[in-house]
């Protein structure tokens, strides 16, 4: 009946429409349209389809709860001190977001010691809980901050505990497999063909051995993690980490438009940066990720900082810090909250660095009115000041730590003379000079030495594992390289100065003693290999228009490169010995980037290393023959042929032994059950016999002098 009724209504509707059209044609006018729904009409269009954008902003019951925080351990005050308390609370909590309402419960005119604050967004409330919890207001009051919704969650905890679901184990392989190479060869990555191809090679003596090559592996460039465990590649949607023997994907991090990354020294965290427009509610410009889980730990705004890395890590990865306006903000892991819930307030701070081995920060503050420039060393997390050095007439400072953290050099640019121009009430400077303030960190009270130089300084570098340093100074064509040493007694002495050099970069070997003095880019790629034990030049050579020089992690090899990114012709990389002997020339079409794969710290103790150096001659003889044979292709072919023959003979011996064992039952049957194998047990054991024979005889006549 319902279907018949529906069909009737449809026919009526069509009939009505035809009659209306007929009236329009005959009379020239149209009846007022009827917009009412026909009988039995069913509207199947939902409100979400029509008003989706509007309904998204519809308040939900949970919105108010999730935006409310409860602050406990607040001072209990009366009406006369309530306004002052409210101003203090607002100053602390307004920096997390806009506060909509605030409520101070009272009893007998005195606050109860806890308050309720409602933010305009749940994200602001979460940030307040993360940062302000355990905030120390004074010695008697430390805030305990929680979300209001947490109280309901904690009261509804089930009585029976359910264990979490076990996640399947993902075998990533041996992430340090390259260290198992029998010849102890190092790996390096190469990008060529204008970035279209990326390859990994083993640095073998004769020619590079390809490990892996892929097209469009990265969209820009690659980066190794500090210990060489991971290879990071860049993509429009984020970062991918690769590792293991076959370079399988270990983890990926979704960060749209990412351009820069930085690893923590412990390789536990990675920091990514994207210049795309940021979200004020949920910071996306800088994100810190957990490498093992792939989870986002925290996001930060960029705040117009132009230097990278914005965050600087402590050597153990326990802390990281960034430079702010008149402050240094120090954060701790794994909570990623600010250390002691407050930044380090330093008026006018210009720059800071971490010690490479200790949780210690060095920072400097420029001159302000009549206050001199100040260099300060502080200990973290205690914030104890270890050393303060005042400097005068300072234009700029640069900080250089020695790799072992034994020394800190402050390169100071200073005004030579100054006189006050009375009519302008300003200081007028007639020239510049430079000096190095050398802090001896390991000695009592951290004494400071000074080395002065009137020439312009182009480069400075510490010997990584020693007490020497070198710097390039002067104007072309009178550029010099000076080498200094810090004696145990504290005296800084000049070892030697190499004059009239074409140089603008210094590259120390990771093991110390050897240094490459190079003139890159506009100096045509001139390179000098220097032994600093007596400051002798071992080799003078040139890689024309070289743009990069990099030591391998062992200090045995040096790579020089002409990158397509810096120079459009002659793109190639060359590999040299530490003494400056050219070993390989690798020319690749539109070669872009060369990077050695870092090695993790050695497992050998200092005592073990000392013992190895003591017996170096004994170990050296084990490798000299192998090195000599590997120097020629013919020797390599002989070695391969002999190895193949030994493998074939070994397999033949195993097959015959198995065949002999299988025939034992047959031998017993033929010999009436007598086991003759015991009598001839040496046959079963296949004892080997060494046979020596004469190949040739050489005669050499020795004449008396």
Would you state the pLDDT for residue 2? 45
The per-residue pLDDT for range 273-297, each reduced to its tens digit, is 999 887 777 788 999 999 999 999 9
Bridge-partner residues for 338, per DSSP?
331
Helices (H), 231-298: none
The secondary structure of residue 230, as a DSSP letter, is: -
What are 174's two structure tokens?
A: 């041996």
Q: Note the pLDDT of residue 383.
A: 93
**591 located within any domain:** no
Q: 569: burial class by Cβ within 10 Å (0-12, 13-18, 19+)?
A: exposed
Give 132's pLDDT tier (boundaries 50, 70, 90): confident
Which pLDDT score, from 0 to 100, does residue 85 have? Answer: 92
How many domains does the structure of the chain reveal? 2
Contact 575, 596 (CB under 8 A): no
Q: What is the pLDDT of residues 14-55, one digit of tens each?
A: 544 555 555 544 555 555 666 676 776 666 666 666 666 666
Task: Tell me, yes or no, whether 180 lies in a domain.
Answer: no
Q: Does a structural domain hold residue 349? A: no
Strand partners, 427: 420
User: For 147-182, how does the pLDDT look when each residue is reduced to its tens digit (9 = 90+)?
Assistant: 988 887 777 788 888 888 887 888 888 999 999 988
pLDDT tens per residue across span 456-500: 999 999 999 989 999 999 998 889 999 999 988 778 999 999 999
CA 505 to chain centre: 24
Provide the CATH number for the domain around residue 89. 3.30.70.330
pLDDT at 503: 93
Q: If you count them, how many residues does the chain have?
A: 705
Q: Which residues contact 71 (CB under 8 A, 6 or more apart)?
A: 89, 93, 114, 115, 116, 117, 132, 143, 144, 145
Of 95, 145, 138, the closest CA to residue 329 belongs to 95
Per the structure, the complete domain to which residue 696 belongs is given by 654-705
What pLDDT was estimated at residue 419?
47
Token pair 């007639």: residue: 430
Domain assignment of residue 416, yes or no: no
In the chain, what are the helix, strand and coil shares in percent, each to the nearest 5?
A: 20, 35, 45
Q: What angle do CA 66, 141, 64 make, to 5 degrees?
A: 10
Pick from 501-510, 677-686, 689-698: least confident: 677-686
pLDDT in tens, 575-618: 999 999 999 999 999 999 999 999 999 888 889 988 988 888 88
Give CA–CA dist 409/438, Å, rounded.
Answer: 5
Rg of the chain over Cα atoms, rounded to whole angstroms, equals 38
Reduced to 3 states (helix: H, G, I; strand: E, B; else coil), residue 121 is coil
Residue 675 pLDDT class (50, 70, 90 cuts): confident
- Is the pLDDT at 10 greater than 70? The verdict is no
Instruction: Note whether residue 244 is domain-resident.
Output: no
Strand ranges, E, within 152-291: 187-192, 197-202, 209-215, 222-224, 231-235, 238-243, 248-254, 260-263, 269-273, 286-290
Instruction: Kindly state the average pLDDT of the residues 226-250.
Output: 95
Q: 583 burial class (0-12, 13-18, 19+ CB within 10 angstroms)? A: middle
Q: What is the pLDDT of residue 62?
A: 52
Strand partners, 452: 435
Mean pLDDT of all residues belonging to the chain: 85
In this structure, the number of other CB atoms found within 10 A of the CB of residue 400 comes to 17
* Residue range 669-685: mean pLDDT, rounded: 68
Residue that is last in its domain, among 98, 124, 155: 155
pLDDT of residue 422: 44
Per-residue pLDDT tens for 327-369?
999 999 998 988 888 889 999 999 999 999 999 999 999 998 8
CB atoms inside a 10 Å sphere around CB 310: 20
pTM: 0.72
Asked if residue 306 has pLDDT above 70, the reply is yes
* 247 lies in some domain: no
pLDDT at 196 over 90: yes
Identify whether 300 is part of a domain. Answer: no
CB atoms within 10 A of CB 99: 19
The residues, any chain, with a CB within 8 Å of residue 249's CB and separated by 6 or more, are 240, 241, 242
User: Distance (Å, rounded) from C-alpha 265 to C-alpha 271?
Assistant: 12
The band of 388, judged by pLDDT with boundaries at 50, 70 and 90, is very high
What are the CA-CA distances from residue 632 to residues 83, 84, 183, 519, 638 (Å)? 88, 85, 16, 33, 10
Helix (H, G, I), strand (E, B) or coil at 405: coil
Each residue of 644-664: pLDDT tens digit? 888 998 899 899 888 888 888
Mean pLDDT of 379-387: 94
d(CA 277, CA 406): 42
Say if 662 falls within a structural domain: yes
Does residue 683 carry a pLDDT above 60?
A: no
Q: Which of 139, 155, 171 is the last residue of a domain?
A: 155
Q: Are 470 and 486 contacting, i.e. CB atoms less than 8 angstroms apart? A: no
Provide the pLDDT for residue 349: 94
Average pLDDT, stretch 215-235?
96
Q: Which residues, at least 6 apart from 370, have a Cβ–Cβ distance to it below 8 Å?
A: none
Tokens representing 251? 């983890």
Q: Decide if pLDDT at 13 tops 80.
A: no
Q: Give CA–CA dist 362/186, Å, rounded.
A: 34
Domain boundary residue, one of 137, 155, 173:
155
Name the residue with tokens 């002065």. 452
Q: Are strands 337-338 and 432-440 parallel, antiparallel or unpaired?
A: unpaired
User: Is residue 423 predicted with pLDDT exceeding 50?
Assistant: no
- pLDDT tens string 562-576: 999 998 999 999 999
pLDDT at 424 over 80: no
């Amino acid at each position: 009946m319902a279907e018949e009724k529906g069909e009737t209504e449809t026919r009526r509707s069509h009939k009505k429409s035809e009659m209306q059209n007929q009236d329009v044609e005959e009379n020239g006018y149209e009846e007022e349209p009827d917009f009412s729904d026909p009988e039995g009409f069913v509207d199947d269009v939902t409100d979400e389809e029509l008003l989706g954008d509007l309904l998204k902003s519809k308040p939900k019951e949970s919105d108010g709860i999730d935006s409310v925080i409860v602050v406990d351990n607040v001072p209990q005050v009366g009406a006369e001190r309530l306004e002052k308390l409210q101003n203090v609370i607002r100053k602390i909590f307004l920096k997390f977001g806009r506060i909509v309402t605030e409520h101070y419960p009272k009893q007998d005119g005195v606050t109860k010691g806890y308050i309720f604050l409602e933010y305009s967004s749940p994200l602001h409330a979460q940030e307040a809980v993360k940062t302000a919890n355990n905030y120390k207001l004074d010695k008697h009051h430390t805030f305990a901050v929680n979300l209001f919704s947490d109280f309901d969650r904690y009261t509804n905890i089930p009585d029976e505990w359910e264990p979490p679901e076990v996640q399947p184990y993902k075998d990533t392989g041996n992430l340090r497999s390259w260290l198992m190479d029998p010849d102890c060869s190092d790996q390096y990555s190469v990008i060529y063909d204008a970035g279209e191809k990326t390859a990994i090679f083993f640095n073998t003596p004769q020619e590079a051995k390809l490990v892996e090559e892929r097209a469009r592996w990265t969209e820009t460039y690659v980066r190794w993690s500090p210990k060489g465990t991971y290879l990071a590649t860049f993509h429009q949607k984020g970062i991918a980490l690769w590792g293991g023997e076959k370079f399988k994907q270990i983890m990926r991090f979704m960060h749209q438009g990412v351009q820069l990354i930085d690893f923590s020294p412990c390789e536990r965290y990675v920091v990514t940066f994207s210049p795309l427009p940021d979200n004020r509610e949920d910071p996306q410009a800088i994100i810190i990720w957990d490498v093992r889980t792939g989870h986002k730990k925290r996001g930060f705004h960029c705040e117009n900082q132009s230097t990278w890395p914005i965050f600087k890590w402590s050597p153990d990865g326990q802390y990281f810090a960034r430079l702010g306006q008149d402050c240094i903000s120090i954060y701790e892991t794994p909570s990623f909250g600010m250390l002691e819930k407050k930044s380090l307030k330093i008026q006018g701070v210009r720059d800071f660095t971490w010690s490479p081995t200790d949780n210690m920060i060095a920072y400097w503050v420029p001159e302000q009115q009549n206050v001199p420039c100040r260099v300060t060393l502080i200990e973290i997390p205690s914030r104890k000041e270890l050393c303060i050095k005042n400097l005068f007439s300072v234009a700029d400072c640069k900080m250089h730590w020695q790799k072992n953290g034994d020394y800190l050099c402050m390169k100071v640019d200073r005004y030579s003379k100054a006189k006050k121009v009375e009519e302008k009430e300003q200081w007028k400077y007639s020239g510049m000079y430079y000096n190095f303030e050398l802090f001896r960190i390991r000695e009592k009270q951290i004494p400071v030495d000074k080395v002065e130089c009137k020439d312009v300084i182009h480069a400075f570098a510490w010997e990584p594992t020693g007490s020497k340093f070198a710097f390039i100074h002067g104007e072309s064509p009178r550029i010099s390289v000076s080498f200094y040493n810090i004696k145990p007694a504290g005296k800084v002495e000049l070892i030697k100065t190499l004059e009239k050099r074409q140089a603008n970069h210094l590259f120390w070997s990771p093991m110390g003693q050897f240094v490459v003095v190079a003139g890159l880019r506009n100096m045509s790629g001139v390179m000098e290999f220097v032994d600093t034990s007596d400051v002798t030049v071992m080799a003078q050579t040139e890689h024309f228009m070289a743009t990069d020089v990099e030591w391998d992690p062992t200090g045995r090899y040096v790579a020089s490169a002409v990158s397509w990114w810096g120079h459009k012709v002659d793109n190639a990389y060359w590999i040299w010995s530490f003494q400056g002997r050219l070993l390989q020339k690798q020319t690749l079409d539109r070669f872009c980037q060369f990077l050695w794969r870092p090695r993790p710290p050695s497992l050998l103790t200092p005592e073990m290393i000392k013992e190895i150096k003591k017996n170096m001659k004994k170990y050296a003889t084990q490798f000299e023959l192998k090195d000599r044979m590997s120097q020629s292709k013919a020797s390599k072919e002989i070695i391969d042929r002999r190895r193949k023959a030994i493998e074939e003979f070994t397999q033949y011996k195993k097959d015959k032994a198995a065949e002999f064992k299988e025939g034992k039952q047959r031998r017993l049957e033929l010999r009436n059950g007598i086991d003759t194998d015991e009598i001839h047990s040496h046959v079963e054991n296949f004892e080997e016999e060494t046979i020596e024979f004469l190949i040739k005889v050489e005669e050499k006549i020795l004449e008396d002098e």
